[in-house]
Chain A
Amino acid sequence: MSITDRVLGDRQRLAYIASQAADARLNVELETEGMTLNIGPQHPATHGTLRIIARLDGEQVVWAEPSCGYMHRGYEKLAEVRTYPQVTTLVNRIDWLGSFANEVPFILAAEKLMDVEAPARAQHIRTILFELSRIANVSLFLGDLGVQMGAITPVFFAFRDREYVLNLIEGATGGRFHPNFDRIGGLKDDLPKGWIAETKAVMKKLRTFCDQIEDLLFGNEIFQSRTRGIGVIPRDVALQYGLSGANLRASGVDWDLRRDHPLPMAWNKADWKVWTHPDGDSFARCWIRLQETREATKIVDQLIDTIPSGPIMAKVPKIIKVPEGEAWVSTENPLGEMGYYVVSRGELGPFRVKIRSASFNNISIAPWVLRGVYVPDIVTVLASLYFILGDIDR
């Protein structure tokens, strides 16, 4: 009750108590029995193949547990038999909606070990592509959110507008989903002609998209009643489970790795805000992501005007050997904190790579947060936590 006391308004609290009382009476009078509901592994709300086993009492979840492993590809083992440049091909496929963002922390970790820093121009373009992949990723989330609650329209908007961003990523890197564009010491190529003007136009479109989604969804009464006060995660629980990204900021923790951890990237050259929300419910998590998409368009807009001239590759040997050592680099990816712990033995490939992916921690809270929610809310709570299966199973 302490959570509801803190977060909900008087009317909502009364409604909650009344519903609890009604439930208690129902359970006594009807002598209900528990049942087990299996959701997945194929379910539209799971972005892949997540299976959830829920033990129900009437409409309420008593116990729920996600069962992963349907998409485990063993990247940590595979990385041990590959060279450093080859690993980016693997890690591209972890969070497949924001692929470029997966490459960056690994490359930064390798650069840290080699004591190489990418030239300023490469850092700028890296940051721009990083934010573009965030926009592509989160805009799909925003559209998909409606589908989980029975609203069909937003997802069409999202797919239409994400396409513009994917075209930009394709224009610069050659790959829509798996760019594999980041190199140790810089980038594979410079930006193509006309790309900057197009990017500006697309960013304008994406801001309109955010406004449309806000009008369509966030102002919608059904959406609000399905998300407000549901799936509440308090600050200390969020931290203990290692939630990161928008999920953590929606619980009121003001922590954004882009701002708080200095990295050789260009985020500090733009003026943008880190949004937090005190509620910690499904609505807060969705709302934070909407704001972050807006901020990302602002970052891209500012950085694209100030790209410094110069080379896009630092001087690195043709055959890359990384000196002995250990490095940890994490960045604020679309899904949250994504980090690589790279152990090098001075060979062509890493000795051990620990991949810390955001969704693994974000979904490990599911048993805690799903306890007590109603069956239709399982889908909305999971959707608001936002995970991608490749990011859980790796």
Chain B
Amino acid sequence: MPPPNERGNPLSSATDTSAAAPRRTTSVDEVKAALGDRVVDSFHKDDLWLRVRTDAWKSSMRTLRDTLGFHYFSFLSAIDWMPSPYGRGEDDPTEPPPVRDSTIRPGYAGGDTRMQVFARVGNPVTHVSVIVKVDVPNAQPTLDSIHDVYAGANWHERETHEMFGINFAGHPDLRNMYLPVDFEGHPLRKDYPLLARMIKPWPGIVDVEPLPGGSEGGDDE
């Protein structure tokens, strides 16, 4: 009897793991050369972050796909860089709310706006992946839709639209995915409070009080 793996059907093809050594070398220069002056900033640390110009968002993604072979679409989402005015939702409701730092600090590869959209695409042959960020204008949060470059971006843009209120020009169908149609607000924006924590104070506040008589109050043993 043949070993279990060699049973199965004749159409199968198998690849040996030992044959394919890790080929994950991100060539910063190659990507930058292909995108030219569309890259505003970049950051390299065991992954490659790029920030492209807002008006060149779609054309950059197209170049990445067609010229550099980044055919695999992993995800698209957004970040709201404004620190939440509600902190971590652990304020004591009886005390006046503390004053919080609300300066917007961008992350890797910089940024000039409050919100950024970022996406990750990969090359299925060389296994190189890149994270592309783009600034979203503060006044009018609108960006070109890339659903006709990467078909998978369709749902991700719908989700981002719903959660961050970012518009995607040219998207065929920006209906809500999760929330009811009449839902107001964009839940993943930092200035949207986590309502459960607003209605009832977080019980964890009580937990951090030291136990009576015990010096090792926080231990969960």
Contact = CB atoms under 8 A, between A and B. Distances in A.
Given A341-B77, A356-B74, A276 B177 contact: no
B63 interface: no
A273 B16 contact: yes
Contacts of B215: none
B74 A261 contact: no
B27 interface: no
A69 interface: yes
Contacts of B49: 326
A207 B4 contact: yes
Nearest to A253: B124
Interface of B: 4-5, 7-9, 11-18, 20, 22-24, 46-47, 49, 71-75, 77, 79-80, 83-84, 88-90, 107-108, 118, 120, 124, 127, 131, 150-152, 154-156, 163, 176-179, 187-188, 194, 197, 202, 218
B187 A80 contact: no
Given A81-B90, A259-B17, A277 B71 contact: no
A218 B11 CA distance: 13
Contacts of B13: 276-278
Contacts of B89: 81
Given A81-B194, A274-B17, A341-B77, A237 B151 contact: yes
Interface of A: 68-69, 72, 74, 76-78, 80-81, 112, 207, 210-211, 214, 218, 236-237, 239-242, 253-255, 259-262, 271-279, 284, 287, 290-291, 294-295, 318, 325-328, 330, 337, 339, 341, 343, 345, 347-349, 352, 354, 356, 360-361, 364-365, 368, 393
Given A242-B74, A341-B120, A393-B178, 5 more contacts: A68-B178, A69-B177, A81-B202, A255-B124, A327-B47
A81 B152 contact: no
Contact of B47 (A272, A318, A328): A328
A317 to B, nearest CB: 12
Given A262-B24, A343-B107, A77 B187 contact: yes
A236 B152 contact: no
A236 B125 CA distance: 12
B22 A240 contact: no
Contacts of A81: 88-90, 194, 197, 202
A339 B188 contact: no
Given A211-B4, A261-B127, A352-B79, A239 B73 contact: yes
Nearest to B197: A81
Contacts of B218: 318
A260 B22 contact: yes
A198 B155 CA distance: 44
A364 B152 contact: yes
Nearest to A69: B178
Nearest to A214: B7
A348 B218 CA distance: 15
A72 B180 CA distance: 11
A74 B193 CA distance: 13
A276 B15 contact: yes
B84 A80 contact: yes
A61 to B, nearest CB: 18
